[in-house]
């Protein structure tokens, strides 16, 4: 099976990966994909979006590893999608290459100005003149540790260094014929807009320094091109006068147009392009880089995360003739400001909405009810959950992950085109899904009847599931096994709840 190399470039790329990780955690599977290998590329290694996503990836990878059995692949369920770091493709090679085992490309911390990077001062008069003609003084003076601050032309030069890097050489060496590559970047910023075409050019470039030119030439490539979907606060005149760093979001559309014009003429080698953009809502805080650049999650990123999923659905023959282009349509009349799963087509309701609902039930129950049931619920007793919750690393990781999930979900609700499909503020399971509620009532005088999904119902399901899973050999499961059992129980329980109670389809 193929592997998918997922290059997420810049802050927007990182945020799409963040959403993708939550989707994968919920059990969304990337079809025909043996493993996803995300590579986050941003010279601004302090970028809040990147850091957050890398940590999330690490958590996921550990949780996935805890749940995986060398013997058999988990076909589905929470954390089922294998996700690998570059180094883990070939640990032996990686070791000799000196590759770090991480998801983020190592720029080695560029802490100099672009002019210094180019060695502007030691250039000949004419080459120096050419550089001055091609780049503004502000660009030459800007320190690269903040990324390219909306200057893709600067990015194109700096990121070209990527191609000489050990990561790229390693990747090229380890390519297989059926591997695919997918690029995620925005087009209106600096890093993504620059890095994406550069990576494509280099990938398709036939010559050295990269290995496997034949593979690279034939390899199927997809790309999510994010068009503007948010705006930033415009700094005050006083702040501008003080020389405040900022990104001028008023130029987003102009830059998008310019870049797209350029792509239309000059970018070749992408087999499937996914365009995505939206009218912006309230402006976000304006932080050009570093830790402070940490934008709230956005529905567009969630939708964008579905692009590589779609790309992997496409069979090779479908994308061999001519480039494909895609856009995403919501099933909705007009331009609704709120999003719920009803706006997804049926297939996505099944493959995306349904796992997310299950994961939401899981997350809510595990964090809100399970801690109080460790001594009086069978599913908990069987794996000695009370003690493990405090001590087991995996459970702590899970808890951490679920906390991040909760944050992500809440953020999704903040931006225009609010994500309202799941309601993070509700504790009543019957009210958690916007587009469908469990059938309740039918009893007489308030006695009996169906109360929908109640904690007791969930607990019952969990107990049932655990009971089915529990084998004699699991009398005293080790930490790893206990964790697997717990997740499996929730997998089964939530599946049943969605199917029987919510009757989601």
Partner 1 sequence: MSKILRRHTTGPTTHEGWGATGPITKDELKSMPDPEGGRAQQTAVAIPSPFARMHLVETALEYVRQHPTETASIHHRLLGQLWDAWEVIFNYHQLEKAGRKLLIRTWQRQPEMAKLEADPSTRPLAAVLRLYLEQSDERFGRLTDVHLFYWTRANGTPYLLAGTSPLTALFPAPDLPEALMQRTEGGGAYFDGHYVPLGAREGAFQQYLYESWVAEPGFRTQFRALEAVLDADRIRQLEFGTPPDLGAGYERLRDHTGNPVTICGLPLRVRPDESVIASSDFFIVPTKTAAGPLPLVLKPGMRAPGKYYFNKKSWDDATQVPATDARLLADRTLPGVSFQYPYLTINDLLEDTLLAVPYQIDERKFACGQVKTTRDAPQDFGPLLPLKPRFFDYFTPADLARLLTVEVTAHHVRVALRIPVQHGGFIEFERAYHDNPQLDGVGKLQVTNVGLAIFPFVRASDAPQYNDLYKVMLVDANTLDERAMHQPVKLEFWHQGAAIGETGGEKSATRYDRTPKTPTEEGSAYYTVRGEREEPDGRGSQRKVGQDVAFELVVVQHPGGGRSLAVPLWPTVTQGTGQFRFAVDFGTTNTHVAWNEGTTPEPKAFGFGADESPVGLLKKMFVQRDQNGQPLATQEQTPYERLVMAGIEDDARKIRLKRLSAYLEREFVPPMIGADGSPYAFPIRTATSESADFTTRPAVLLGNVNIGFGLITEELSPSYYFTNLKWSIGSDRFTESRVRAFFEELLLLFRAKVLLARPTGNVAQTRLTWFAPLSFSVPQRNLFQREWNQAYQRIFQTAQEALCVAESTAPYYYLTELNKITLGETDTAAFVDIGGGTTDVLLYADRAPVLNTSFRFAGTDLWGDGGARVTRKENGLVRYGLDQLVPATFGRSAQRAHNRVLKAVENPAYTSDDVASFLFAYDGELGFSRLLHRAQHLRVLFYLHFGAIVYHIGQLTKLYGLPVPRYLCLTGRGSLYVQLLRDGSDTETVTAMVRRILEATAGPVPARFEIVFVPDPKQATANGGVLANVATRPNPQAAKPTGVLPAAEPTDADGKPAPHTLEPAQITDAVQAAVLANVGACLDLLLTDPALVRLHPDLGIRNAPGQVRAILEKHLADSLTTHRQQYARLLEAGAPVPETLFFLPLKEALVGLSKELHSATTSTSAA
Q: Residue 115 and residue 118: Cα distance in Å, rounded? A: 5
CB atoms within 10 A of CB 132: 14
CB 155 within 8 A of CB 193: yes
Q: Strands 338-339 and 418-419: what pairing? A: parallel
**Closer Cβ to partner 1, 78 or 263, answer by number:** 263
Give the separation between CA 50 and CA 41, rounded to whole angstroms: 9
Residue 36: helix, strand or coil by DSSP?
strand
Of the candidate residues 13, 43, 115, 277, the single one contacting partner 1 (CB under 8 A): 277
Nearest distance from C-beta of residue 394 to partner 1, angstroms: 35
Interacting residues with partner 1 between 60 and 89 (CB under 8 A): none
Residues 320-379 that bind partner 1 (CB under 8 A): 323-336, 343-345, 347-348
Backbone phi, then psi, for 338, in 5-degree steps? -110, 145
Nearest distance from C-beta of residue 411 to partner 1, angstroms: 18
In the bound state with partner 1, the residue whose beta carbon lies nearer, of 77 and 308, is 308
3-state secondary structure 247-304: CCHHHHHHHHHHHHHHHHHHCCCCCEEEEECCCCCCCECCCCCHHHCCCCCCHHHHHH
Question: Which is closer to partner 1, CB of 92 or CB of 238?
Answer: 238
CB of 205 to partner 1, least distance (A): 7
In angstroms, give the least distance from the CB of 405 to partner 1: 23
Cα–Cα dist 442/420, whole Å: 28
> Of 10, 43, 152, 289, which one interacts with partner 1 (CB under 8 A)?
152
Instruction: For the segment 193-222, give every residue that binds partner 1 (CB under 8 A).
Output: 193-198, 201-202, 205
Tell the burial category of 255 from Cβ atoms under 10 Å away from its Cβ (0-12, 13-18, 19+).
buried
Contacts by 467-472, CB closer than 8 A, 24 or more apart:
467/378, 467/379, 467/382, 468/492, 470/382
Cβ atoms of 388 and 370 closer than 8 Å: no
Instruction: Decide whether 249 or 370 has the Cβ nearer to partner 1.
Output: 249
Touching partner 1, residues 304-323 (CB under 8 A)? 306-307, 310, 323
In angstroms, what is the minimal distance from the CB of 69 to partner 1?
A: 33
Q: Based on CB atoms, which residue is closest to partner 1, 19 or 256?
A: 256
Stretch 254-273: interaction string toward partner 1, x if CB under 8 A: xxxxxxxxx-xxx------x
CA 47 to chain centre: 15
Pattern 159-178, partner 1, x by CB under 8 A = -xx-xx--------------
User: What strand order describes the sheet that includes 220-226?
Assistant: 33-41, 2-9, 180-186, 220-226, 272-276
User: Which of 206/425 has CB closer to partner 1?
Assistant: 206
User: Count residues contacting partner 1 (CB under 8 A)?
Assistant: 93
Is residue 248 close enough to count as binding partner 1 by CB under 8 A?
A: yes
User: Least Å distance between CB 95 and partner 1?
Assistant: 27
Between 115 and 144, how does the x/- string for binding to partner 1 read (CB under 8 A)? Answer: --xxx--xxxxxx-xxxxxxxxxxx-----
Compare residues 301 and 491 and give the one whose CB is closer to partner 1: 301
Task: Give the number of other Cβ atoms within 10 Å of residue 335's Cβ.
Answer: 9
Residue among 100 and 326 whose Cβ is closer to partner 1: 326
């Amino acid at each position: 099976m193929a592997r998918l190399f997922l290059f997420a470039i810049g802050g927007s790329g990182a945020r799409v990966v963040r959403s993708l990780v939550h989707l994968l955690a919920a059990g969304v599977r990337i079809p025909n994909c043996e493993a996803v290998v995300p590579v986050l590329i941003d010279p601004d290694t302090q970028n809040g979006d990147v850091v957050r996503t890398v940590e999330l990836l690490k958590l996921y990878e550990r949780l996935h590893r805890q749940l995986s059995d060398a013997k058999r692949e988990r076909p589905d369920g929470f954390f089922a999608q294998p996700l690998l770091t570059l180094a883990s493709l070939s640990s032996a090679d990686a070791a000799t290459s000196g590759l770090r085992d991480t998801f983020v490309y190592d720029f080695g911390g560029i802490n100099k100005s672009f002019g210094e990077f180019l060695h502007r001062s030691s250039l000949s008069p004419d080459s120096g003149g050419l550089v001055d003609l091609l780049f503004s003084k502000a660009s030459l003076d800007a320190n690269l540790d903040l990324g390219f601050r909306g200057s893709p032309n600067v990015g194109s030069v700096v990121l070209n260094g990527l191609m000489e890097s050990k990561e790229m050489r390693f990747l090229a060496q380890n390519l297989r014929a059926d591997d695919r590559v997918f690029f995620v970047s925005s087009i209106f910023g600096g890093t993504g807009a620059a890095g994406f075409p550069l990576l494509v050019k280099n990938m398709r470039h036939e010559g050295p320094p990269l290995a496997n030119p034949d593979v690279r030439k034939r390899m199927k490539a997809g790309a999510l091109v994010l068009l503007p979907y948010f705006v930033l606060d415009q700094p005050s005149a006083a702040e501008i006068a003080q020389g405040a760093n900022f990104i001028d979001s008023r130029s987003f559309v102009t830059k998008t147009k310019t870049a797209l014009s350029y792509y239309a003429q000059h970018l070749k080698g992408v087999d499937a392009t996914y365009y995505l953009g939206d009218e912006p809502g309230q402006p976000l805080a304006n932080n050009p880089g570093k830790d402070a650049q940490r934008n709230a999650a956005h529905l567009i990123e969630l939708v964008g995360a579905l692009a590589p999923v779609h790309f992997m659905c496409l069979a090779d023959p479908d994308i061999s003739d001519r480039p494909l282009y895609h856009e995403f349509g919501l099933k909705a009349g007009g331009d609704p400001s709120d999003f719920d799963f009803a706006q997804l087509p049926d297939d996505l309701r099944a493959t995306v909405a349904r796992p997310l609902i299950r994961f939401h039930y899981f997350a809510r129950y595990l964090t809100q009810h399970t801690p109080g049931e460790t001594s009086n619920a069978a599913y908990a007793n069987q794996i000695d959950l009370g003690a493990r919750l405090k001590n087991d690393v995996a459970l702590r990781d899970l808890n951490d992950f679920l906390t991040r999930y909760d944050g992500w979900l809440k953020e999704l609700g903040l931006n225009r085109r609010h994500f309202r499909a799941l309601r993070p503020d509700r504790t009543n399971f019957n009210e958690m899904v916007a587009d469908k509620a469990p059938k309740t009532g039918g009893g007489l005088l308030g006695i009996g009847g169906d109360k929908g999904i109640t904690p007791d119902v969930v607990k019952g399901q969990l107990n049932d599931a655990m009971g089915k899973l529990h084998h004699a050999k699991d009398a005293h499961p080790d930490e790893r096994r206990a964790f697997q059992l717990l997740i499996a129980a929730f997998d089964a329980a939530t599946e049943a709840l969605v199917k029987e109670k919510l009757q989601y389809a």
